[in-house]
Amino acid sequence: MPHALNDFISVLFDGLAYAMFLFITSVGLSVTMGLMGFVNLAHGAFAMAGGFIVVSLARTYGIDFIPALVIASVTVGLISVRFEQRLYRRFYKSTDLEQVLLTIGLAFMSIAAFTYFYGPIPKSVPLPHWLQGDVNLGFRTFPTYRAFLIVLGAVLIAILWFVFEKTNIGAKIRAAVDNRRMAESVGINVDRLFTLTFAVGSGLAALGGGLAIQLLGLTPSFALLYLVLFLIVVAVGGMGSLKGTLLAALVIGIVDTGGKYLFPVAGTFFIYVITVAVLLVKPAGFFGRE
Amino acid sequence: MSDATLHQKTLTARQRASDYLARRHHFHWAEALPWLLAIAAFFVFSNRMAFGSQVLIMIMFAVSLDLILGYAGIITLGHAAFFGIGAYTVALASLRLGWSEPISGIIAGGVVAGLAGLVVGWFMLRYRGLTLLMLTIAFAAMLQESGNLRSDITGGYDGLPGLTFDPLFGHFQYDLYGHTNYWYVLAALAVVFYVVRRIVYSPFGQALTGIRENVRRMNAIGSPVHWRLVTVYAISAAIAGIAGALFTQTNAYVTLTVFDFDTSAKVMVMLILGGTGRLYGAFVGATVYMVLEDYLSKMSPTFWQFGIGLLLVVAVLFARRGLLGVVESASAFRWRTGAARRRFVWKTEYWKALAVAAFDGGLIGFLIGFAGNLGRADRMSLFVSAFPARVVAFIALGAAAGIVINAVYLLVTSRSAVERPAS
Amino acid sequence: MRIVSLLGTAALAVVLGAGAQAATVKVGVVLPFSGANADLGHQIDKAFDLYVKLHAKDIAPNKVEIIKRDEGPPTGAQAKTIATELITNDKVKILTGFVFSPSAIALAPVVTQAKVPMVIANAGTAWITNLSPYIVRLSFSMWHPAYPMGAYAYNKIGCRTVAMAYTDFPPGKDSTEAFKTGFEKAGGKIVDSIPMGSPVQVPDFTPFLQKVKDEHPDCLYAFIPSGAHAAGIMKAYGELGLRKAGIKLIGPMDLIPDNKLQDMGDAAIGTIVMGHYAVDLDNPQNKEFKAEWHKAYGPDSYPDFMSAAGWDTMHAIFDTIKKLNGNVDDGAKFVDAMKGWSTDGPRGHVMIDPATRDIVENEHALEVYRKPDGKLGERVLETIKGVKDECKVLKVGRCGS
């Protein structure tokens, strides 16, 4: 196989897998910020919580990786409902700055709390046998776990797309993102809608956290370490836009991977170059409201 | 109404307004307080001036952020870029050019950072909100990356060691205890603060506040919004640069970590904590944050972040306008007569609130107890033996804590309904 | 402030030993207890605590008082501020710890000015010891493992071509430069040198290793910080099937820290590193160290190369206090007394080179294998005795000054 083609496939495949992780973890943040204008810097903390629940379930109870992922996402989704109702709701009308202070405070607390319970050593989980090794597609092999990430991402995107575009709830969410006051005045209960999307978003973040164990490793500092990355995906995609977040995740994932593969000397430069380039041309991101 | 009386009325209104503005920038006696405290701190904690200097530097950094965030409403998470530019200007000037006179050094740091702010601001300040936030983050990150690419110049993450600076005024040596540095930084802070205060209360400062409150109206009345924003951004960048230059000089060392996102985020948190748009908020916020961080990290080097996080959450729950806002409310409260002093009246829905609080507290307690067993042991045996008692204890503890916290919250919020009307 | 005050048998000794002046020596411990690298700080701190607990009686009637402070992020500035305060406010006589090189570099002028010895338990940038006559290093320089690994990789492992991948910060650059020097001297060829992002965030390692896979060298020499990065790169290495593709993974001991080895799984088997310590090292001191460690911290907690260096660090401090009979006010005398200090510790025989104040230690080529009990272990393939910091021997760059 020609060298350039091989490079291209490598970048595309690894970038795609990375992009799926970015999408799954960031989409909740995007909707939160789009729907309520709420700056949730504790989003990474929900992801981290998901990751640690997976670790506990898999290692203490010997539950398989996949069921553990599901349990962790659901649990974090449910817990996040209480957070939203009790804490976040008081701050919807506050300024961005107060929201920043609140959520960064929560992130700090979560870091210390998880350090207390889990210690600072990075955690890992045993993967099921069928996720290890690599799959042979004839012309070359690909790591199974990454293929799994791509498939899982594709399935989730299909589900989210269906819910967003084809169902009543999806229509309401889109309406509320576009014009919240108008949506309320036609009788949509935006608060309840938001609770729901917040729970789903946090649950997905938790799923992302679980997936990240194998991808990036998991320590308590995860809560803030990758926050900028998630914010970049949200900003580049446009707040509250599903397809924007997806496109941004793809662009960031593939450009970052390509940059690392072809020009490792420039490090993480490419992520920021692409961010600046996109935002200078489209300040509201790919599909954000101007 | 005749034209003459109308003219007369306009004049008195204008007169009143300008009187008010003139009065506002007069020094209030309470403004001496932070400076007296800073001087007193020198004598009380004379062994801890290395830390004291760092606090003062962060105050200056926070003041620079207040100028754009509090007064002009420019939201940024990349202010460390200018702090870092100032820091590296002094370091490289000393190392490569042998320019180690400290005072001209910080001026150079301020000028270079200010110029950078001018250029960058001209590009970025067309944008607002999240877009601007990400652009500022990206700018700082790209500076850091470029610095790492050319680590032959910047020293990379191992930094530039062995920086030496001439004695202050050719006379005062830098002592181990940081005494010279403390006075040096305090004096620099006083000068910078005086300038900032002048700017804030000048017509230019008023125009900035106008932009913060209503951009469209300022555009409509023909105010050169963009240039005003760029100007204040450059001034703020210059001050951040001076703070960075002082940072390098007091440490005699600098690494690329000055450009960290953490630095930007931390200074912003300090400022919001103290209160934005009121200058002294930076003093209160930076001091409280750093002293508490220092104190907590001595108490528990591993878990101190929990305390800081709690402070932020509690502050935002109870002190919506920053810690300084509480002080202001309290002093306003004192001046009011009995009528404003509202009595706490028990309402029946408070029972429900307390019950919900108990439930949530219990839930949190359960999670903590549960996680404690899951995370720590990593083994089934301990889990089984200690599970029920421990989790039940945590549920009870959490519920009790929930009730207490909520009760305090109810008491405070129902009383402090006497917010001062926006003047 | 968490103060571990140690009485030991001191009280008794004071009563009995009339005239014996018992001193309480304050030791400031500066380690990262929080943040992304807290893990590293805790590995050393546990060794410190353990040594102090077991050996407090050795220095009777004198006592030590340990004052712990958080080194924070690797900015240099924070460590400098708190360490300065430890000297000016808490009046410590000895400073120790220091995981990050920037901390040690920033602090060097301060300890020179204050005449307080700084006993480094980790920070590995080679030229640090040149910065102040009050610096003594008990851990290692990046050159200690990396330089001999060059010749070993060529001669014994059979690497003819090597791709180097490293975390893009000074220790990474040091380590790869040292390896390259040794490897090229032996006759090998470096085919690529890939920086892998900052030490702060753990990156997705796959693109970097995919690049290596496509270049197909004999061996991959990797340097990453031994925290979360180590676990991450091993996963990517396993996932991409590099070993199956015939690319051997080699590196310094940071690649397989003992406390993360068990989690690394099959991917790690066959990895060969050069290092001064492994849990499985067969010497009586290590056996005792290991046993005490498990007793104190549980069977699932392992000491690693940092802990071993931490143990020896505290050992050296205690021995010197004893030698000076508690008179540690004179920092220069303390450093002089430390010069030439040697012992048989968990790492084997170590000595402080009087000329450079840096450690002289044995380096072992270690291979990861699966032990009969199912756990992963490291077996010693070869031991190179009495390795000095070659950077200072060859006077490379700043090491020459």
Nearest residue to A289 (alpha-carbon basis) of B243, B106, C56, B131: B131
A287 in a domain, yes or no? Answer: no
Say yes or no for a CB contact (<8 Å) between A115 and B303.
Answer: yes
Instruction: Using CB atoms, pick whichever of A15, A121, A261 lies closest to residue C259.
Output: A121
Residue C11 in this model has a pLDDT that exceeds 60: no
Nearest residue to B68 (alpha-carbon basis) of B218, B227, B235, B213: B235
Q: What is the pLDDT of residue B113?
A: 97
**Rounded distance, CA A20 to CA C204, Å?**
13
In angstroms, what CA-CA distances link C213 with B212, B419, C230, C246? 54, 66, 19, 9
Using the Cβ of C274 and the Cβ atoms of chain A, whether some distance falls under 8 Å is answered with no
Q: Å from C204 to nearest chain A CA?
A: 6
Q: Mean per-residue pLDDT for B346-358?
A: 76
Q: What is the pLDDT of residue C2?
A: 39
What contacts C181, CB < 8 A, 6 or more positions away? C147, C150, C390, C394, C396
**Rounded distance, CA B132 to CA A288, Å?**
14
Say yes or no for a CB contact (<8 Å) between C204 and A216.
Answer: yes
H/E stretch holding A185: helix A180-185
Lowest mean pLDDT among A70-84, A222-236, B21-35, C191-205: B21-35
Residue B136 in this model has a pLDDT that exceeds 90: yes
Q: What is the pLDDT of residue C390?
A: 85
A163 in a domain, yes or no? Answer: yes
Residue C90 in this model has a pLDDT that exceeds 70: yes
Q: Kindly state the percentage of chain B with pLDDT values over 90.
A: 34
Residue C6 in this model has a pLDDT that exceeds 50: no
Cβ-contact B114, B238 below 8 angstroms: yes
Residues of chain C contacting residue B302, judged by C-beta atoms under 8 Å apart? 33-34, 38, 42, 70
Q: Mean per-residue pLDDT for B57-61?
A: 96
Residue B345 in this model has a pLDDT that exceeds 90: no
Q: What is the pLDDT of residue A2?
A: 66
Q: Which of residues 27-66 of A touch B (CB under 8 A)?
A: 33, 52, 56, 59-60
Residue C240 in this model has a pLDDT that exceeds 60: yes
**Banded model confidence at residue B420, pLDDT cuts 50, 70, 90:** very low
Cβ-contact B65, B196 below 8 angstroms: no
**Rounded distance, CA C314 to CA C336, Å?**
17
Domain extents for chain B? 20-329, 339-415
Q: What is the pLDDT of residue C60?
A: 82
**Banded model confidence at residue B414, pLDDT cuts 50, 70, 90:** low
**Rounded distance, CA C292 to CA C378, Å?**
20
Angle between helices A227-237 and A242-262 (to 10 degrees): 120
Alpha helices for C92-169 (secondary structure H)? 101-114, 143-152
Residue B20 in this model has a pLDDT that exceeds 60: yes
Asked whether the bond before C61 is cis by omega within 30 degrees of 0, the reply is yes
Instruction: Using CB atoms, pick whichever of C198, C203, C228 lies closest to residue A219.
Output: C228
Report the DSSP beta bridge partners of residue A141: A136
**Banded model confidence at residue B18, pLDDT cuts 50, 70, 90:** confident
What contacts C363, CB < 8 A, 6 or more positions away? C144, C145, C148, C274, C275, C276, C383, C384, C387
Instruction: Using CB atoms, pick whichever of B158, B159, B176 lies closest to residue C110.
Output: B176
Extended beta strands in C189-327, E state: 189-195, 219-223, 248-252, 272-275
Residues of chain C contacting residue A133, judged by C-beta atoms under 8 Å apart? 241
Residue C362 phi, psi (nearest 5): -85, 140
Q: Over the stretch B152-170, which tens digit does the pLDDT of each residue have?
A: 888 888 888 878 887 888 7
What are A162's two structure tokens?
């269906």
Residue A269 in this model has a pLDDT that exceeds 90: no
Q: Which amino acid belongs to residue C100?
A: F
Q: Mean per-residue pLDDT for C385-400?
A: 85
A29 in a domain, yes or no? Answer: yes
**Rounded distance, CA B296 to CA C188, Å?**
52
**Rounded distance, CA C49 to CA C59, Å?**
15
Q: Over the stretch C134-163, which tens digit does the pLDDT of each residue have?
A: 999 999 999 999 999 999 999 999 999 999
Say yes or no for a CB contact (<8 Å) between A260 and C198.
Answer: no
Q: Mean per-residue pLDDT for A20-36?
A: 90
What are A18's two structure tokens?
């990375």
Task: Write out the residue range of the structural domain in which residue C49 sits.
Answer: 3-140+282-357
Pairing of strands C248-252, C376-387: unpaired
Q: Which amino acid belongs to residue B314?
A: V
Q: Which amino acid belongs to residue A109?
A: M
Q: Mean per-residue pLDDT for C178-192?
A: 93
**Rounded distance, CA C10 to CA A147, Å?**
64
B-C CB pairs within 8 A amount to: 113
Q: Å from A223 to nearest chain B CA?
A: 13
What are C187's two structure tokens?
């006759």
Strand, helix or coil at B79?
coil
Cβ-contact C252, C305 below 8 angstroms: no
Say yes or no for a CB contact (<8 Å) between C84 and B304.
Answer: no
Does one domain contain both C383 and C251? yes
DSSP string, C155-205: III--SEEEEEE-SSHHHHHHHHHHHHHHHHHT-EEEEEEE---SSSPP--
**Banded model confidence at residue C98, pLDDT cuts 50, 70, 90:** very high
Q: What is the pLDDT of residue B339?
A: 45
H/E stretch holding A210: helix A190-215
- In terms of residues, how long is chain B? 423
A19 in a domain, yes or no? Answer: yes
**Rounded distance, CA C367 to CA C250, Å?**
9
Tokens 């306003």, located at residue: B332
Cβ-contact B385, B310 below 8 angstroms: no
The mean pLDDT of chain C is: 88
What contacts C235, CB < 8 A, 6 or more positions away? A124, A214, A217, C205, C264, C267
Cβ-contact A236, A248 below 8 angstroms: yes
What are B372's two structure tokens?
């404690």
**Rounded distance, CA A225 to CA A202, Å?**
17
Q: What is the pLDDT of residue A290?
A: 62
Residue B386 in this model has a pLDDT that exceeds 70: no
Residue C178 in this model has a pLDDT that exceeds 60: yes
Strand, helix or coil at B253?
coil
Cβ-contact A55, A118 below 8 angstroms: yes
Sheet with C3-5: list strands edge to edge: C3-5, C63-70, C24-31, C94-97, C118-120, C135-137
**Rounded distance, CA C24 to CA B254, Å?**
35
Does one domain contain both C18 and C95? yes
CATH number at residue C394: 3.40.50.2300
The mean pLDDT of chain B is: 82
Does one domain contain both C387 and C249? yes
Does one domain contain both C131 and C69? yes
Q: Mean per-residue pLDDT for B345-361?
A: 76
Say yes or no for a CB contact (<8 Å) between B134 and A107.
Answer: no
In angstroms, what CA-CA distances link A15 with A73, A206, C179, C209, C230? 24, 21, 31, 14, 22
Using the Cβ of A226 and the Cβ atoms of chain C, whether some distance falls under 8 Å is answered with yes
Q: What is the pLDDT of residue C198?
A: 80
Q: Mean per-residue pLDDT for B66-76?
A: 90
Q: Mean per-residue pLDDT for C381-393?
A: 89
Q: Mean per-residue pLDDT for B56-79?
A: 93
**Rounded distance, CA C37 to CA C43, Å?**
11
Does one domain contain both C27 and C87? yes
Instruction: Using CB atoms, pick whichever of B303, B313, B377 lies closest to residue A106.
Output: B313
Q: Which amino acid belongs to residue A148?
A: F
Does one domain contain both C366 and C250? yes
In angstroms, what CA-CA distances link B36 with B41, B183, B237, B290? 8, 13, 28, 19
**Banded model confidence at residue B373, pLDDT cuts 50, 70, 90:** low
Residue C113 in this model has a pLDDT that exceeds 70: yes
Q: Which of A144, A260, A263 to mutate to test the interface with C (most CBs of C within 10 A)?
A: A260
DSSP string, B346-412: --THHHHHHHHHHHHHHHHHHHHHHHIIIIII-SHHHHHHHHHHHHHHHHHHHHHHHHHHHHHHHHH
**Banded model confidence at residue B116, pLDDT cuts 50, 70, 90:** very high
Q: Mean per-residue pLDDT for B240-265?
A: 92
DSSP state of C247: -
Lowest mean pLDDT among A39-53, B205-219, B247-261, C26-40: B205-219
Residue B416 in this model has a pLDDT that exceeds 70: no
Residue B144 phi, psi (nearest 5): -60, -45
Q: Kindly state the percentage of chain C with pLDDT values over 70.
A: 95
Residues on chain B bordering chain C, Cβ-to-Cβ distance under 8 angstroms: 47-51, 54, 148, 151, 156-159, 161-162, 176-178, 247, 251-255, 257-258, 260, 262, 297-305, 378
**Banded model confidence at residue B384, pLDDT cuts 50, 70, 90:** very low
Q: Mean per-residue pLDDT for B291-304?
A: 87
Q: Which of C29, C67, C75 to mutate to test the interface with B (most CBs of B within 10 A)?
A: C75
* Number of neighbours of residue B12 by Cβ within 10 angstroms: 11
Q: Which of residues 113-132 of A touch B (CB under 8 A)?
A: 113-119
**Rounded distance, CA B326 to CA B274, Å?**
10
**Banded model confidence at residue B381, pLDDT cuts 50, 70, 90:** very low
Q: What is the pLDDT of residue C8?
A: 41
H/E stretch holding C63: strand C63-70
Q: Which of C70, C204, C254 to mutate to test the interface with A (most CBs of A within 10 A)?
A: C204
**Rounded distance, CA C111 to CA C128, Å?**
13
Number of independent structural domains in chain A: 1
DSSP string, C381-398: EEEEEEE--HHHHHT-GG
Q: What is the pLDDT of residue C14?
A: 43
Q: What is the pLDDT of residue A38?
A: 87
The mean pLDDT of chain A is: 89
Cβ-contact A178, A289 below 8 angstroms: yes
Task: Write out the residue range of the structural domain in which residue A192 sits.
Answer: 13-226
What contacts C40, CB < 8 A, 6 or more positions away? C31, C32, C99, C122, C225, C226, C227, C306
Say yes or no for a CB contact (<8 Å) between A60 and B383.
Answer: yes
**Rounded distance, CA B67 to CA B71, Å?**
5
A281 in a domain, yes or no? Answer: no
**Rounded distance, CA B126 to CA A205, Å?**
32
Q: Kindly state the percentage of chain C with pLDDT values over 90.
A: 60
Say yes or no for a CB contact (<8 Å) between B148 and C80.
Answer: no
**Rounded distance, CA C25 to CA C398, Å?**
34
A274 in a domain, yes or no? Answer: no
Tokens 């004893």, located at residue: C322
| Helix %, strand %, coil % of chain B (to 5) | 80, 0, 20
**Rounded distance, CA C222 to CA B287, Å?**
43
Angle between helices B203-213 and B179-201 (to 10 degrees): 80
Does one domain contain both C8 and C29? yes
